[in-house]
Copies of this chain bind each other. A is one copy, B any other.
Amino acid sequence: MIGPDIGFLVERIGVAVFALSGALVAARKGMDPFGFALLATVTGVGGGSLRDVLLGRPAFWIQDPTDPVICVAVALALYFHGRRRGLAFFGGGGRILVWADAMGLAIFAVVGSATALAAGAPPITAVVLGTLTATFGGIIRDILAGDVPLVLHREIYVTAAFLGAAVHAGAVSAGLPGFIAGAAGIGSAFVLRALAILKDWSLPPYVEAGR
């Protein structure tokens, strides 16, 4: 755990920024308000739901549906704000989508790892689950919207999620306090993803020898 109260707050932020990224995609597609709500909710709670289901437990929002409500609120706020005043505040929507996605990616990599460790899974599982669930929300958002998943782009993406989950699981296994491990994991994932966005960093894409 990242520390019960701060961890709780951080996870809500992750849900909200992923929901924002879903709503921004809905805006680009010209969807109606309920389309906004659906895309925001699926993106916001999708990764965490997959994590819980793979761990063999009910999705985290079943008993307390605060998170889906946050997602719907974010979606409707963006819909009505954008219709009345435009999305200039959001840099037209394109740039903020990338950053909201980056923040959600970093947070969910660590929350996924922390949840797996708390459930008694070994550290390698925590890294796999953190990476999978951090990338899944964005993947399902892009597939539902009919876009090529961001994950396929060559900029460092899966790599950042992996780094965040690995730093967190490694730090916890090394005995560091949850708060430090969580901050280190989120920070390293976000910084790596930010550098990839700002400096167009990427890992070498696959090119076959002799071509």
Contacts and interface: CB of A to CB of B under 8 A. Distances in A.
Given A49-B54, A152-B145, A61 B128 contact: yes
Contacts of A139: 144
A125 B62 contact: yes
Interface in A24-46: 26-27, 29-38, 41-42
Given A59-B54, A204-B32, A208-B27, A152 B162 contact: no
Contacts of A119: 62
A60 B89 CA distance: 46
Given A125-B61, A128-B68, A148 B149 contact: no
Copies of this chain present: 3
Nearest to A41: B128
A207 interface: yes
Interface residues on chain A, size class: 35 or more
A175 interface: no
Contacts of A148: 146
Given A151-B144, A206-B26, A58 B54 contact: yes
Interface in A110-144: 116, 119, 121-122, 124-125, 128-129, 131-132, 135, 139, 143-144
Given A54-B53, A58-B54, A33 B203 contact: yes
Contacts of A154: 30-32, 35
A209 B62 contact: no
